[in-house]
C-alpha cells in the first residue's frame, strides 16, 4: 500500500480558495455562494469572505461564537474594530494555508489579535519571535503594551530581558520611561546584578524625569518644592533600595542630598554610625531588628566591580553549587578600596571559611579560585602525614580554579577541578610573603604586595585537554603571561 501526501498542494489550494474570492470581490461567479461568513474590518470597511467550518477549526473564539449561535452567527457577519485589514488578511490566510510571515512590523499586532481571538499556535510563534528580537530601545514600550493587553507570556519575557540586561538598560534614557508599577516589580527581584548606590542615583534621575525637573540641575541646588516633588515621586520606590550595601561615604552623600523620607534618613543615620564604628555585631543586630527591604541585601556579587557580565555570574553560581554561600556572601576585601597590602588582606580574609577569589589583570584577564576551607593559620586544617606544617599547604577536595575572561583564542569561561590525589595541595597559606595562592608551587599566586603574580597552571588543577603542562600555553593561560602579570583588582568574598 502506498500513501500519497502532498501538504504543500493542499496548503496552496486552500490559500487560493480564500485569496481568489477576496482579491476579486467584484466578481459575480457562482463560487461566492460557497462562503458562509463575512468578516468586516471597520478601519477601512474591507470585507473578507470565509467559511464557518474553517474559522471554528482554527480558533476557539470562533468555535464558541458559532456554537452559542449569537447575533453574529445568525447574521453570518462579524465586524472587527481593533485590527488592521493587513493583519486580518494575514491571519485569515494563515487559517486557510497554515502559513504566515511574522516580522518586526507585524509581530505585536499578530500577538494581540491571537490573544484576543484564542489562536494558540500564533500566540506561541509571535511571542517567540518578539522574545528573540527584544531590544533595549523598545523593551519599555513592549512591556507597557503587553501589560495593558494582559499578554502574560510577553510580560514574563520582557521582565526577564530587563533583568538580564539591567546594568546596560539602567544607563539609557529608556529606563526613565518605566512606569512606577513596572519599576517596583523589577526592584523586588533579589537577583538583580547591580551596584546599589548607582541604582539609587538612577532612581533619583527617574524621579526627576517623572517630575519634569531638569536632569542637569544638581541636587544641592534644587528648590525645596522640587525636592519635595521628587520625594513624593519616588516614595513608593525608595524602600526597594538596599541601603545596607552602601559604603559610609555613599550613606553620607545620600543624607546630604535630602531626597529621601525622614523615617529612612533616621535609620540611615544609625546605620552610618554603626558602619563608622566598624562593629560587625552591632551591624548584624541592627539589620535583624529592621523589617524593611532597605536593610536586606541582594546577591553578594552585586558589589563586584570585576563581574559585570551575566554569563560570568551564572557560571560562578553553577560552579560553586552552594546557594547558602553564594546568596549570602559579601565582598570582604577589595584591593582598590582596601589597598594592595598582603598583611591587610590576611587580617581581613583569614579564617573566614568558604572563600571566593576573583582577580582582574591589567590586560583584562579575569580568573580566580574557590576554597571550601578558606585561608587559615589553623594547623588542624593541615595534613601532617603529607605536608610539613611550616610549608603551609591546606587540603581541600572541593577547591577549584576558574577562568572567566581569557582573550587568548577567545576561550570560553572554564572551571578546573583539583587533580586526583593532589587535594592536599589545594591552597597555600603563608602570612607575610604570599596573598591568595592555589596549588603546589602556585597554579596561581599573588606576592606580598598583591600587585604582581605568577602562574604555574597544571601541576595541581586540571588543565584543558588540549594543553600540555609546563608549556608557555599552560603557564600563560590564566593571566596572559607566566610571571609578573599585574593585578588591576583583587576581590575576596566570604560570609
- Mark whether 82 and 37 lie in a shared domain: yes
157 part of a folded domain: no
User: Which of 450, 331, 430, 326 is CA-nearest to residue 376?
Assistant: 430
In tens, the pLDDT along 300-342 reads 777 788 887 778 888 998 999 887 788 778 889 999 989 999 9
| pLDDT tens-digit map of 11-49 | 665 666 556 556 555 555 545 547 788 888 887 778 888
Q: Which is it for the CA torsion 310, 366, 403, 343, positive or negative? A: negative
Indicate whether 17 belongs to any domain. yes
Question: At CA 143, angle to CA 140 and CA 147, rounded to 5?
Answer: 145
Q: Are 356 and 475 in contact (CB under 8 A)?
A: no
Q: Is residue 154 part of a domain?
A: no
Residue 56: which CATH number? Answer: 3.30.710.10
Is 300 among the domain residues? no
Q: Are residues 310 and 374 in the same domain?
A: yes
| Nine-digit cell string for 403 | 577562568
Residues 347 and 265 in one domain: no
Co-location of 228 and 207 in the same domain: yes
Same domain, 233 and 322: no
| C-alpha to C-alpha distances, 469 to 319, 406, 443, 462, nearest whole angstrom | 23, 18, 11, 9
Q: Is residue 351 part of a domain?
A: yes
The residue from 268, 295, 322 where one domain ends is 295
**pTM of structure:** 0.62
Of 272, 295, 318, the residue at which a domain comes to its end is 295
Q: Would 236 be classed as within a structural domain? A: yes
356 and 425 belong to one structural domain: yes
Is 379 domain-assigned? yes
Based on the fold, state whether residues 109 and 17 are members of the same structural domain.
yes
Under 8 Å between Cβ of 186 and 159? yes
What is the rounded distance in angstroms from the CA atom of residue 276 to the CA atom of residue 421?
47
CA separation for the pair 377, 342 (Å, rounded): 15
Q: Which domain holds residue 42?
A: 8-24+31-119
On whether both 312 and 270 belong to a single domain, the answer is no
Map residue 88 onto helix, strand or coil.
helix
Looking at the structure, tell me whether residues 416 and 332 fall in a common domain: yes
Predicted confidence pLDDT, tens digits, the chain (495 residues) = 555 555 565 566 566 655 655 655 555 554 554 778 888 888 777 888 888 888 888 888 888 888 887 787 778 888 888 888 888 888 888 888 888 889 988 898 888 888 888 888 888 888 889 989 999 999 999 999 888 877 878 888 899 899 888 888 999 999 999 999 999 889 888 777 778 899 999 999 999 999 998 888 887 788 889 989 999 999 888 888 888 888 889 999 999 888 888 888 888 888 888 888 877 777 777 766 665 677 777 777 777 888 877 788 889 989 998 877 887 788 899 999 899 999 999 999 999 999 999 999 998 899 999 999 999 876 665 555 444 444 678 889 999 999 998 876 566 899 999 999 888 889 988 877 889 999 988 789 898 889 999 888 988 999 988 888 989 888 889 998 887 789 999 999 998
- CA distances to 154, 321, 350, 353 from 190, in Å: 21, 18, 29, 24
- Say yes or no: 339 and 486 in one domain: yes
**Residue 179 forms part of a structural domain:** no
Same domain? For 488 and 384 the reply is: yes
How many structural domains compose the chain? 3
The last residue of a domain, from among 295, 316, 336: 295
Cα separation values, 204 from 13, 177, 231, 235, 489, Å: 61, 13, 9, 11, 29
Please tell me whether residues 199 and 256 are part of one structural domain: yes
Cβ atoms of residues 465 and 332 within 8 Å: no
Q: Give Cα separations from 384 to 188, 388, 389, 394, 396 (angstroms).
A: 50, 6, 6, 10, 14
Amino acid at each position: 500500500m502506498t500513501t500519497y501526501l502532498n501538504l504543500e498542494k493542499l496548503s496552496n489550494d486552500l490559500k487560493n480558495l480564500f485569496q481568489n474570492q477576496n482579491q476579486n470581490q467584484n466578481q459575480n461567479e457562482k463560487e461566492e455562494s460557497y462562503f458562509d461568513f463575512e468578516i468586516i474590518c471597520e478601519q477601512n470597511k474591507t470585507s473578507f469572505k470565509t467559511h464557518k467550518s474553517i474559522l471554528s477549526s482554527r480558533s476557539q473564539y470562533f468555535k464558541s461564537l458559532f456554537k452559542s449561535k449569537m447575533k453574529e452567527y445568525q447574521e453570518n457577519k462579524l465586524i472587527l474594530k481593533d485590527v488592521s485589514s493587513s493583519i486580518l488578511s494575514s491571519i485569515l490566510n494563515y487559517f486557510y494555508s497554515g502559513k504566515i510571515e511574522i516580522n518586526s512590523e507585524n509581530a505585536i499586532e499578530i500577538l494581540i489579535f491571537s490573544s484576543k481571538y484564542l489562536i494558540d499556535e500564533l500566540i506561541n510563534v509571535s511571542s517567540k519571535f518578539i522574545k528573540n528580537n527584544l531590544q533595549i530601545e523598545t523593551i519599555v514600550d513592549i512591556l507597557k503594551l503587553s501589560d495593558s493587553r494582559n499578554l502574560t507570556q510577553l510580560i514574563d519575557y520582557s521582565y526577564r530581558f530587563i533583568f538580564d540586561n539591567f546594568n546596560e538598560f539602567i544607563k539609557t534614557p529608556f529606563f526613565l520611561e518605566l512606569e512606577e508599577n513596572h519599576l517596583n516589580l523589577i526592584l523586588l527581584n533579589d537577583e538583580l546584578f547591580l551596584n546599589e548606590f548607582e541604582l539609587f542615583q538612577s532612581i533619583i534621575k527617574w524621579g526627576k524625569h517623572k517630575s519634569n525637573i531638569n536632569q542637569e540641575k544638581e541636587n544641592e541646588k534644587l528648590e525645596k518644592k522640587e525636592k519635595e516633588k521628587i520625594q513624593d515621586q519616588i516614595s513608593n520606590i525608595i524602600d526597594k533600595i538596599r541601603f545596607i550595601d552602601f559604603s559610609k561615604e555613599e550613606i553620607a552623600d545620600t543624607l546630604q542630598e535630602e531626597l529621601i523620607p525622614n523615617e529612612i534618613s533616621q535609620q540611615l543615620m544609625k546605620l552610618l554610625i554603626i558602619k563608622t564604628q566598624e562593629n560587625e555585631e552591632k551591624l548584624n543586630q541592627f539589620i535583624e531588628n529592621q523589617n524593611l527591604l532597605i536593610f536586606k541585601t541582594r546577591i553578594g556579587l552585586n558589589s563586584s566591580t570585576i563581574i559585570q557580565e551575566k554569563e560570568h555570574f551564572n557560571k560562578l553560581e553553577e560552579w560553586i553549587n552552594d546557594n547558602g554561600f553564594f546568596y549570602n556572601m559579601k565582598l570582604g576585601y577589595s584591593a582598590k578600596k582596601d589597598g594592595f597590602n598582603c598583611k591587610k588582606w590576611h587580617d581581613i580574609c583569614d579564617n573566614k571559611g568558604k572563600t571566593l577569589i576573583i582577580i582582574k589583570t591589567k590586560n583584562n584577564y579575569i580568573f580566580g579560585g574557590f576554597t571550601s576551607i578558606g585561608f587559615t593559620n589553623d594547623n588542624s586544617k593541615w595534613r601532617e602525614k603529607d605536608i610539613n606544617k611550616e610549608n603551609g599547604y591546606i587540603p581541600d577536595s572541593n577547591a577549584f580554579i576558574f577562568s572567566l575572561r581569557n582573550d587568548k583564542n577567545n576561550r570560553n569561561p572554564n572551571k578546573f577541578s583539583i587533580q586526583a590525589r593532589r587535594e592536599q595541595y589545594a591552597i597555600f597559606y603563608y602570612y607575610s610573603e604570599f596573598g591568595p595562592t592555589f596549588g603546589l608551587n602556585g597554579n596561581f599566586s599573588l606576592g606580598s604586595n598583591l600587585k604582581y603574580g605568577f602562574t604555574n597552571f597544571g601541576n595541581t588543577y586540571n588543565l584543558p585537554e588540549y594543553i600540555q603542562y609546563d608549556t608557555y600555553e599552560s603557564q600563560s593561560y590564566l593571566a596572559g603571561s607566566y610571571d609578573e602579570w599585574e593585578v588591576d583588582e583583587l576581590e575576596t568574598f566570604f560570609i
